[in-house]
Homo-oligomer: A and B are copies of this chain.
């Protein structure tokens, strides 16, 4: 049960972006250098974040990305969903009547895993980017 780099990097990069939340766009190159994340990988990630309207892009010299919404409105759930990081606790198909290993009904543990999934998703729904900025006690806002 672990978080992928893609998901972690997406949040990390957006936290960086939120921290430098000035009028000026922030280039991926800067984020790459500050956070030690591969530029090419960041590009993949931001392409998805843009498609999900979490960031806006500005091309050309002095271009970069800026947040498309107020940090408080960007939930962790939105970010992770954008980069296809999904919480998956069961093997069986969600909408199918079949259970694990193609059995004809849902198994005895199915409800448990559903509960777990909800439990985790609740966390992602509660937390937003703003929480990440103000939590650092860096005294900046």
Contacts and interface: CB of A to CB of B under 8 A. Distances in A.
Interface string A93-132: 0000000111100011101110110011001000100011
Interface residues of A, number: 44
Contacts of A119: 119-120, 123
Given A107-B12, A112-B131, A119-B120, A91 B5 contact: yes
Interface of A: 1-5, 7-8, 11-12, 15-16, 19, 35-37, 76, 80, 85-91, 100-103, 107-109, 111-113, 115-116, 119-120, 123, 127, 131-132, 135-136
11 contacts: A1-B2, A1-B4, A1-B88, A3-B113, A8-B91, A8-B100, A35-B107, A108-B135, A108-B136, A112-B132, A119-B123
